[in-house]
A and B are shown apart, each in its own frame.
Chain A
């Protein structure tokens, strides 16, 4: 890796920052600051960072179009993979710490609880995207097909926000914030597409 290359430097910075949420949880855990309900804290934290990751990943393209800085595209895959990483931690926290591998309860939950159903769906859809993230996979699939597959991220982000929205008891400010950001990010794309057609 060439450190004088600005794109490489950007990648290194993103790589280091990407571990921050996990490092924070680890430190809070070690000093005993995860609060009265640590499992809930970890679940919420990994869930929140997954949403943040999704939003950041979806910001890359509009940002590139606005700034004209093509190098940005080089960090998109890494952001996407970090998002998948935190989604996996979120999922494992639920399966392990929350349900303790009680398969029957999990199946019932996924089936009966709409917020868990959509969250579960979003996670399942993330898996093929993570698996096809390498250059080799892009070549194998062909750029067109690969891109079509990766448009699933729009649906995943919507499901993620819905998952959060349906889980809160009454105070929907936070989910509303994510919904607003996502609306802007998706709206941007829709408008550009429309303009390109006209």
Chain B
């Protein structure tokens, strides 16, 4: 299989320094403004600096910090929406390592801080659509998954990438019950993983990622339902076989491996045609691939998306 390099933005060809400076200025002022609006952000967490990558960012209004950090699905800490913000506070995210294993030329145990220093961070304002029918707009901070993959150099056998979340029932009370098969596993096809939209996030709203949002490192795949974006990642494995992902394993008839946002393919028990954007009163129409169709529809050309839901 071929690994396509991402399209080089024109901004990087013409006067990059100027472009970045301007971006940085805008993003910093936006961050200051958001910090003033949401005093909770100014709490303990570390400030992270990154310019907005406008090429991959939406201009829609970002969801309130408070909502992003108190309304979460993160079954490792309980199945209630407020459980993660309540029970994830004590999760130890340092020291933290991420194992790069499997079909790669350079397997490696990355220290999280080394990872953050190695790959330049950028801000990406993405839509996030949950399989349950609600959505948010989240200003993530992170780096393209493709950067890490290129560094690891997958072998020709690498067809899929598997992400594993931390398994530690002592710290993650939700894992003491078998709601899902632990540890949480997610996965992408290689071309999906290499897509420039696929992000490894380490922060949001200009700050280090709160624990309830998947600290210290999480995946963000904005054209797929939220559960595809694994949190608190400890291992990234390159494989020839398609990984058996957590939700798909638990209820195969309801959650497929691909799980692309698709208003035309309903969840067996509820419609996916509309969504409630958190903070809004009226529901809005859900867009194919969560509005990222221009960029990602090509990945699935010729595939029956009803069959590969």
Contact = CB atoms under 8 A, between A and B. Distances in A.
Interface in B48-96: 64, 66-67, 70-71, 75, 79, 81-82
A100 B71 contact: no
Nearest to B266: A112
A36 B67 contact: yes
B111 interface: no
Contact of B278 (A36, A112, A170): A36
Interface residues of A, number: 19
B39 to A, nearest CB: 16
Given A100-B282, A113-B269, A113-B270, A170 B71 contact: no
Contacts of B269: 113-115, 166-167
Interface in A6-65: 35-37, 39-40
B134 interface: yes
A18 B109 CA distance: 59
A37 B134 contact: yes
Given A100-B283, A170-B250, A170-B251, A37 B270 contact: no
Contacts of B180: 170
Main secondary structure of the interface of B (DSSP, over half): loop
A40 B134 contact: yes
B241 interface: no
B276 interface: yes
Interface in A99-144: 100, 105, 108-109, 112-115
B132 interface: yes
Interface in A79-107: 98, 100, 105
Contact of A35 (B81, B251, B281, B282): B81
Interface of B: 64, 66-67, 70-71, 75, 79, 81-82, 132, 134, 179-180, 250-251, 266, 269-271, 273-274, 276, 278-279, 281-283
Interface of A: 35-37, 39-40, 98, 100, 105, 108-109, 112-115, 166-167, 169-171
18 contacts: A35-B81, A35-B82, A36-B66, A36-B71, A36-B278, A36-B279, A37-B276, A37-B278, A40-B276, A100-B282, A100-B283, A105-B273, A108-B271, A113-B269, A114-B269, A167-B269, A169-B79, A170-B75
